[in-house]
Structure 1
Amino acid sequence: MANECSICLSTFKDPVCTPCGHIYCAICLSGHVFSASTRDNTALCPGCRTPFPVVIPELTTLLEHLRRFIIPSVRRVYVDTASYQKLQNRFSAVKRQVHDLKHDLNHAQTTSLAQKRQLEEREYRWTGAYNELVRTCGSKEKQLAQAVDMREEWRRRHNTLLETNVSKEYELKKEARAWQTKYELLKARFEARARAQKALRVRAPRPRAHQ
């Protein structure tokens, strides 16, 4: 990271810069210089191994708060660690937010899959019920069509029978009128014959009684 020391791998604390441009913590670079074997009062950069001059006086001759300035070729630099820390905190917050969003996304996808399966199951059940209803309606429509056809057949038979009955009734009435006419004629003949016989009996003389 740009704001981390490559020696301690932490945020810069009192950063200093070597002549080659690499930045380290002052205490880390001092420890590196003191622990390394130097030749001709020079040390190697921990990053690129570029030599730079150093002066190593006796530490007991210096005050403690001046010991960090024992490397004259190393200059102090300003690194905005506060802004970096804010960015780091923001990055961590964004990273946590991304993690939470991924978790929510996975949960939403899992929930969506479960809801999709439920909807598919409902669709399957509703499709089966719909198909069964269609088959039932088809059967009922067929039965209704058969009933309508039967009704039409009975209506035609009824009309045929009605026409036949009307025709027979007409023939029977006609025959009844003919028989009534014959009956009237016979009745008139019988009445005329009866009157004639009665008239003959009235005209015939009565036999005399013997004295």
Structure 2
Amino acid sequence: MSTQCAICLCDYTEPVSIPCGHVYCLKCISDHILSSSPDGFAASCPTCRTSFCIVLPELKSLPTQFHRYITPSIRRVFVEPEAFKRKLDALEARNGALERENRALMAAVAKEKKDLQEARKQLKVMGKKITRVCDSNRSIMPPSKRPRLDADSSSSAIATARRRLLSSANLEAFARAHSTKRSVWNPFAGAQMTSRSR
């Protein structure tokens, strides 16, 4: 579409369109109609010479169902090429950015799906290993992670048991030494006893 009127050869001022589709300035086409229309009811396009009506029939004389088909022959056109070009460029840039973002998101979703499927496979394999129950110690721990009872670990277990016995004996001695005169229950002695005064 041209940005200049074919009559005045200038940029459009109040552009209007006639039924054949050509666009002119409102003042230019009005002057053309006034100078070229012999009867005032019809005019011809200055470019293609197609005839068009310039008078609308009165709507009261037409049935109601035809009213929506009656449109004026000369209609206002809203053309601002520079503003539209800027908007178009901005929209194309935004569209390109959105398409790039969409491709990146689709790739990320595909990667997440693949990782999720791999994790499900690993979980299934690990679940089978973990649910094996060892009959010897009723452990649900996988065999590779069970503690081994060899000579070093058994000696350390004995040492730990000795420490616990000694600490409980020390607590019993402490309770006997610091008890009051009244009859009290001593959890370490295992029976009721009367303690000495200090």
Higher helix share: 1
TM-score range, shorter chain: 0.3 to 0.5
Larger Rg computed on CA atoms: 1
Q: State TM-score, norm by structure 1.
A: 0.35
